[in-house]
Structure 1
Amino acid sequence: MHGAFRKDFLWGGATAANQCEGAYNVDGRGLANVDVAPHGPERYAVVSGQRKMLDFEDGYYYPAQTGIDFYHHYKEDIALFAEMGFKTFRMSLAWTRIFPNGDEAEPNEAGLAFYEDVFRECQAHGIEPLVTITHFDCPIHLIKEYGGWRNRKLIDFYKNLATTIFTRYKGLVKYWLTFNEINMILHLPFMGAGLVFEEGENKEAVEYLAAHNELVASAWATKIAHEIDPEVKIGCMLAAGSYYPYSCRPGDVRQAQLDNQDNYFFVDVQSRGYYPAYAVKKLERLGIDVGMTDEDREILAANTVDFISFSYYSTRCSAGADNPDVEKTKGNAFAGAKNPYLQESQWGWAIDPLGFRITLNDLYDRYQKPLFVVENGLGAKDVVEEDGSINDDYRIDYLRQHIAAMRDAVTEDGVDLLGYTTWGPIDLVSAGTGEMSKRYGFIYVDRDDAGNGTLKRSKKKSFDWYKKVIATNGEDLA
């Protein structure tokens, strides 16, 4: 296994502004969609656009207001990442720190200065920032005034954001991602695109319209970035995980093919520069007009991404309509058939390291561009022992198996891989559930699901394990 990963392989961890920064009303920051996603049973209805909540309401706890207060702890946190040996740190910008409403002509200097400070802190520790422009992040003003990403005007607002940040952070950031998990528009549309649906509205038509606008905005951002700094690399970002047929029944196989197409559609456009035939036919069949212009076609074709990034937590399982009695998963936003051959996490997510290797192969075969794994990890409840230690062997085991599978994809299958960032190297608020108790980190944060706690940072057992993995460039996984 000697030399499995390239010498400059980018090991690190990934966060999102809305899940860790807090300081939601500090230094001129405006309100965003993720700020008003409450903790508790109504969260899913809100993030999926079924329940309209565009302001804080009495009786709810909103965990993004405080997150883990990365805003005031970033130096401490980045120092801990550096102690682990991070080569890269994936983070996102809060759009509303830079443009509080989203549609201003001029940015908020305090927001720009904060991120410059963070990037310089990373550089001081030899850490390369990997920055997501928007990670489930849409200004509330753009939702109330324009309807979110269903409105083409957001393309121009996003172009203004992109031009501002690429200019300001030239030389500080080499790797950018345009939209986090862009395919989540089809699963969590309020979170993914600021969409709220009116009664009787054609939900799917609105989702694909918003998707088109984000795809065009992504291509514009790629163009703008390369014009401002030809050295930067721009990636797309997919919530990945290959769909397996539930059985070899042809109906199941066909359903898996369709589900994979729905997932890959976004990257097909971002990587190839045009709508694939299956998507054109699907939209025609559904009577959906995304408002494609000649300029859109030109921008998409001329500005494909430099690399493909993705999150991987689990594979999924597809059953055809002629196989209705299969047991369903209770896991994340990708509902489907339950795979009887896989164990599950405490939150019902299938654990499938071999599926990680399969997904890496599927993506590399399909696109022939460098890949970057920008999220992978295990959400679990951690116990703090009386002596303060946190023995998260289950997390080490999960990551060990997945890194080994990733290594096989590189050494045996020839996948071109730029780097690997675990999700949540420090505990943060779960996007799907709003919980703190669903912990991913190597660093424990003293904060509970109700917002109580000191925010004190503590190293878990996995901290030293991942430090060793990075130091040996992925060779020592013991």
Structure 2
Amino acid sequence: MSFPKGFLWGGATAANQLEGAWNEDGKGISISDISTGGSATSSKRITPQLQEGTYYPSHVAIDHYHRYKEDIKLFAEMGFKVYRFSINWTRIYPTGLEDEPNEKGLAFYEDLIDECRKYNIEPLITLCHYEIPFELVKKYNGFASRKTIDCFIKYCRTVFERYKGKVKYWLTFNEINNGTNPVGGYLALGVLNELEKPTEFMHPKDDPQIRFQALHHEFVASALAVKLAHEIDPHYQVGCMQIMATSYPLTPDPADQILTQQHNHRMNWFCSDVQCRGYYPSYMHRYFKENNIHIEMADGDEEILKEGTVDFYTCSYYMSFCQTVHTEKGNEVAGNMMGGTSNPYLKASDWGWQIDPIGLRYSLNEIYDRYQLPIMVVENGLGAYDKKSEDGKIHDQYRIDYLRAHIEQMHEAVLDGVDLFGYTSWGCIDLVSASTGEYAKRYGYIYVNRFDDGTGDFSREKKDSFYWYKKVIASNGEDLA
């Protein structure tokens, strides 16, 4: 049971969830820096004005900014072949509006890339992972304005040119299809329709017309970035990144089949159809008409989308949902900022995310059948409460079981004929949860001594899963015991 030769094993993080140092060395304020902490039962808040005495998890996170060499060394000890991380846009252009980049930010990521390469770890860099400059939100309402496209491309040109010859793989926008949901208006698109007062992170003031127009502008920005990358370095490979929110019909009722198809069209296929195929799919026309949405395209946009299709496809996969017209209250389930109906055949994590390894095999087959592009799973993992045992160690067999089951199903997909070339499990080191702003929701192979009450010395410790994943990588997926 081996994976293809040269398979890229590794882990994934995001700058706003682990770096900290939110206002050091010239960094500006990103959209994540004004998001407060929260919990599984209490939504984070977006505060357009920073509030004294309020907890903002991205401000400190796990202090990776000052500890990246220690962390990369631990990743290398596990045998990582690839490390997916993001560049925080506001470290390079603090407001997004500057004419010249911030050299200290460029130097930091160059040092980080060099540290990876020292251990023969391939960098996989996300250009925008929920880190849009907040000044662009205030000035342009994020990607609701075409002017933000120009700011993004300026940033892309800077990093593409600076890191030429050191990086091969890039991703444009993290989980871009989150922009099809109200919660993604701010997080994925930088759209904030209420600037005068704080708003709930999970329930922002939404305007679908503005949101889908902003999403169109991100499509154009992504396509232009792909074209620019290929012009600067023909060896650059640029991918899209989607949430794979796998859904099944709950019942054989044909109405459930149609509902599920409509959900998958909008949630799972719309954005990747545009980024992989280069044009808007026909099924969205009815959705736009019925929801009174009109997409304004500038001259040349259609050509840009066609010419700027991605080289490979990547996704996050954590769980699956069911869809039904028969839902009774109490059967709802949520996860990764999505929602649906619970599946009676599945168990759930501590946070209620339903665990469905077979759904990953199913999804990979669906993706590859649709696009015939190389695929990488760039997020997959189990958020759980990790407690130290009497021996002072973290025995996270539950995480090993989760990951093993998903890796087994990835291999089944490879046997099915899917061109899968890499896997970066999410949160390879404990970090701050994007959805809830908690430290308590831990994903990592490496335990970080930091807690939601502000205590902890940030020290790093290896969990049982650290040694297990090291063995998986060394055997190229053959030894999963």
Q: 2:40·2:436 contact (CA, 8 Å) conserved in 1? A: no
Q: Quick one: which amino acid aligns to residue 196 of structure 1?
A: L
Q: 2:185·2:206 contact (CA, 8 Å) conserved in 1? A: no
Q: 1:382·1:390 contact (CA, 8 Å) conserved in 2? A: yes
Q: Are 2:277 and 1:272 equivalent residues in the alignment? A: yes
Alpha-carbon distance in structure 2 between the residues aligned to 1:285 and 1:328: 25
Q: Quick one: which amino acid aligns to residue 186 of structure 2?
A: F
Q: Quick one: which amino acid aligns to residue 454 of structure 1?
A: D
Alpha-carbon distance in structure 2 between the residues aligned to 1:148 and 1:44: 26
Quote the residue 2:186 is aligned against: 190
For residues 131-172 of structure 1, give each alpha carbon's deviation from its aligned partner in whole angstroms, at most 9, with x where no partner exists. 000001111100111111111111000010111110000011
Q: 2:245·2:338 contact (CA, 8 Å) conserved in 1? A: no
Are the structure 2 counterparts of residues 42 and 399 from structure 1 closer, same or farther at C-alpha, using a change threshold of 3 Å?
A: closer
RMSD, matched Cα: 1.7
Q: Quick one: which amino acid aligns to residue 270 of structure 2?
A: F
Q: 1:176·1:232 contact (CA, 8 Å) conserved in 2? A: yes
Quote the residue 1:17 is aligned against: 15
Are the structure 2 counterparts of residues 422 and 208 from structure 1 closer, same or farther at C-alpha, using a change threshold of 3 Å?
A: same
Are the structure 2 counterparts of residues 427 and 208 from structure 1 closer, same or farther at C-alpha, using a change threshold of 3 Å?
A: same
Alpha-carbon distance in structure 2 between the residues aligned to 1:230 and 1:194: 31
Which residue among 22, 32, 35 is the counterpart of 2:30?
32
Are the structure 2 counterparts of residues 362 and 468 from structure 1 closer, same or farther at C-alpha, using a change threshold of 3 Å?
A: same
Q: 2:43·2:436 contact (CA, 8 Å) conserved in 1? A: no
Q: Are 2:131 and 1:137 equivalent residues in the alignment? A: yes
Q: Are 2:234 and 1:230 equivalent residues in the alignment? A: yes
So what's the TM-score if we normalise by structure 1?
0.95
Quote the residue 1:465 is aligned against: 468
Identity %: 53
Structure 2 stretches lacking a partner, 5+ long: 196-203
Which residue among 134, 158, 183 is the counterpart of 1:164?
158
For residues 211-240 of structure 1, give each alpha carbon's deviation from its aligned partner in whole angstroms, at most 9, with x where no partner exists. 101111000000000000000100000010
Alpha-carbon distance in structure 2 between the residues aligned to 1:220 and 1:103: 18
Query: What are the residue-to-residue correspondences of 1:428-443 with 2, within 5 Å?
Result: 428-443=431-446
Alpha-carbon distance in structure 2 between the residues aligned to 1:349 and 1:423: 15
Q: 1:241·1:355 contact (CA, 8 Å) conserved in 2? A: no
Q: Secondary structure at the match of 1:329?
A: strand
Alpha-carbon distance in structure 2 between the residues aligned to 1:53 and 1:201: 13
For residues 5-36 of structure 1, give each alpha carbon's deviation from its aligned partner in whole angstroms, at most 9, with x where no partner exists. 11110000000000000000110000011011
Are the structure 2 counterparts of residues 193 and 83 from structure 1 closer, same or farther at C-alpha, using a change threshold of 3 Å?
A: same
Q: Are 2:222 and 1:218 equivalent residues in the alignment? A: yes
Alpha-carbon distance in structure 1 between the residues aligned to 2:279 and 2:322: 28
Q: How many residues align?
A: 470
Quote the residue 1:66 is aligned against: 60
Q: Are 2:442 and 1:444 equivalent residues in the alignment? A: no
Q: Are 2:463 and 1:456 equivalent residues in the alignment? A: no
Instruction: Using the TM superposition, give the Cα deviation of residue 380 of structure 1 relative to its aligned residue in structure 2, in angstroms.
Output: 0.3
Quote the residue 2:201 is aligned against: none
Query: What are the residue-to-residue correspondences of 1:47-196 with 2, within 5 Å?
Result: 53-185=47-179, 186=181, 187-196=183-192
Alpha-carbon distance in structure 2 between the residues aligned to 1:308 and 1:138: 22
For residues 52-91 of structure 1, give each alpha carbon's deviation from its aligned partner in whole angstroms, at most 9, with x where no partner exists. 5223213421110001011000000000000000000000
Q: 1:37·1:43 contact (CA, 8 Å) conserved in 2? A: no
Alpha-carbon distance in structure 1 between the residues aligned to 2:168 and 2:360: 26
Q: Quick one: which amino acid aligns to residue 366 of structure 1?
A: R
Q: Quick one: which amino acid aligns to residue 352 of structure 1?
A: D
Instruction: Using the TM superposition, give the Cα deviation of residue 190 of structure 1 relative to its aligned residue in structure 2, in angstroms.
Output: 1.2
Q: Secondary structure at the match of 1:236?
A: strand
Instruction: Using the TM superposition, give the Cα deviation of residue 288 of structure 1 relative to its aligned residue in structure 2, in angstroms.
Output: 1.6
Quote the residue 1:358 is aligned against: 362
Alpha-carbon distance in structure 1 between the residues aligned to 2:128 and 2:155: 10
